[in-house]
Amino acid sequence: VCVLYFLWVPSKYKHLPNLHNEKVVLLACGSFNPITNMHLRMFELARDHLVDTGQYRVVKGIISPVGDGYKKKGLIEASHRLEMARLATKDSDWITVDAWECLQPEWVETAKVVRHHYDDLLAAEQNIDDVDTVKYTKRRRVEENHFQGSSSDRGRDSSQVMLLCGADVLESFGIPNLWKQEDIAEIVGRYGLVCITRNSNDPHKFIHQSDTLWKYRKNIHVVREWVTNEISATHIRRALRRGRSVRYLLPDKVVRYVQENDLYSAESEKKNADVVLAPFQKCSGALSS
């Protein structure tokens, strides 16, 4: 005799998250010069994808603007970029803005930024007073395991930070001297990556061509944006310099802030024009020492 049992779940409860799924905090690092609707859209796409896997529960999104020390051409002051990001996320119930990275006196490698937010997350979960002890213990465990505790091996009760980025960032891993190989291994191997891609990109091919990315490929979530959206901060700055409207490309609050502070002029675009990008400066300094 075969007896089948069916569990009936009222429809009003089906939308609730599975509390046993692994908690994820999505972290986006970048210039946000300025922040656009596409930047915000990336968080929504990433959350939908991770939830659809049935393995994750996205509890928070963090936007971390890079500091002025990055020295990118046309990069306006961090104070303005930080405020625009705060205005853009003001109405969000899960995406926040963190100022730690952009307030550092010098440029901070992305791996260190991810590590910082993971340490903060770990300290908050441990509910203990000695934060330094938590950070020391965590870093020691990372060194001992050498990334063996990948995102797929963590317990269900733990939380993790995943770096959220576009396909251009993923492909930038292959630019000589822009990223340290050990940083790439830590970001992808220890934490995980969510990559938003478009029809013109082929991240799977790039992953296949990289030994490091291939090794940790199970920690890389590729999410395709099927709705064509070519919003670019570079194009937006150009439109602003020419007095063109950028409404509906940026959140309205950001558009007003740009106008009120007269941001993005021909003069601002020349900033850092003759300066070497901070990662290349650091690499050249290491090579010469």
pLDDT of residue 1: 52
Q: From CA 172, how far away is CA 112, in angstroms rounded?
A: 18
Is residue 136 assigned to a domain? no
| Average pLDDT of span 269-281 | 94
- Domain enclosing residue 236, as ranges: 22-128+158-286
Report if residue 67 sits inside a domain.
Answer: yes
For residue 61, is pLDDT > 80? Answer: yes
Q: pLDDT tens digit string along 116-155?
A: 999 999 888 886 445 455 555 555 554 445 454 444 445 4
Q: Could you tell me the pLDDT band of residue 260, with boundaries at 50, 70 and 90?
A: very high
Is 118 among the domain residues? yes
pLDDT of residue 190: 96
pLDDT at 85: 98
Structural domain count, the chain: 1
84: in domain: yes
Does the pLDDT of residue 14 top 70, yes or no?
Answer: no
pLDDT at residue 189, rounded to an integer? 97
CATH code where residue 255 lies: 3.40.50.620
